[in-house]
Chain A
């Protein structure tokens, strides 16, 4: 997904909320009205975000947790996001990439937004269990995996990835190179043992 050149995009997903102004003096009704719009946005975007989260995190439970975390924080400042951001979906996806890298998961909670079997069952029924590439991706550090997902799932350029993740293009290049090297090594290793 391409995004426009807005500069208010957070470099760090969990930091999205840090610019929220004091809200105590606002009429609560305006916020509630804004949230019906937010509900629509969530309903429409949830399947795509969960799928994207699955690619980012490598498993559906973490995907659901990541999506819920990022969307709730977004919703808490929805009116402001709507004012400042032409493409809230792009905004959410970038926030998810950043949150995945750094800070979203402190605890594993019961999932609320996706319809999932329990963890033991889903681990046993991982649809990608026999996909060597999926297994190899699982072993990448989060930042490297995010770079790969932004490149091959989102189709972003190196410069766009750098801006999305708040890192230099040099770092994007080196992270991507390391990731691809690891993936190739893992895949080669798998072939040898077959």
Chain B
């Protein structure tokens, strides 16, 4: 690429480039770490790790069930089923993967998002937090107990070709809210925003909605496409299921029919680590 340093943003010749660089160089951007912050992060990492380990053992049997259908349509399984099915089950959205901590005293800018305590959608691992010597007292604050795992949902959920259940690509925020499927739709979006589903995030981890263009995309967790592609599918399986599969810069896309597309994110072993159903209006 020639002149790639100028391929962005220089089109009107203003000094905005320079102003942006100066701003991002400003010393006042510094945010001081709290003392002991690394211990807090390490303890958080341990907690996630333990939860995953528990799911790896508990989820294996269910995973076999969940994948049985996929084998028919997509051909051979790759490696161990537990490994395939673990990601969706063990990948809650980030903030639900930790105990819901105290809500800050006041959150003037966060009204729409502060209404759903993270743990409400279910920390799926009922794992006692007893072996973390480095946890701070705050981190042992109990999250609401979850009496069942949500794994069974994984086996039957289908994302696509044009939506998930009553939620459809392009549907307005108001219409989406009216389905009752959104978990946290107290206020209309002022900008594009991701919403959780009331049913939890085991099948679909988020719905991205624009105030003008409606639902722009669905982020899959455990749900499969109608062609039975899912997280854990291999590139070969995708190719078999989607003859029009096209390689992008770092993703693969395939037509979902009905104007939508699937975008698959693959890891370095060519296994799907995430995928999305997106509408034709991809920008926000």
A residues near B, CB below 8 A?
6-12, 14-15, 17-24, 26, 31, 35, 38-40, 42-43, 46-47, 50-51, 53-55, 59-61, 63-65, 68-78, 84, 99, 102-116, 118-120, 123, 127-128, 131, 133-134, 137, 141-144, 147-149, 151-153, 157-159, 162-163, 166-169, 171-180, 183-184, 187
Contacts and interface: CB of A to CB of B under 8 A. Distances in A.
A41 B191 CA distance: 35
A162 B249 contact: yes
A115 B249 contact: no
Contacts of B33: 46-47, 50, 113-115
A107 B265 contact: no
Contact of A175 (B31, B46, B100, B283): B283
A98 to B, nearest CB: 10
Interface string B95-137: 1111011111111111001101110000000000000000010
A20 B86 contact: yes
Interface in B270-284: 271, 273-274, 282-284
B73 interface: no
Given A11-B250, A102-B194, A171 B106 contact: no
A6 B269 CA distance: 12
Interface string B214-245: 00000100000000000100000000000000
Given A76-B52, A152-B17, A102 B208 contact: yes
Nearest to B24: A153
B29 A51 contact: yes
Q: Which of A15, A64, A73 has the most CB of B within 10 A?
A: A15
Nearest to A84: B268
B192 interface: yes
Contacts of A109: 95, 98, 100-104, 118
A1 to B, nearest CB: 12
A120 B57 contact: no
Contacts of B40: 68, 112-113
B42 A35 contact: yes
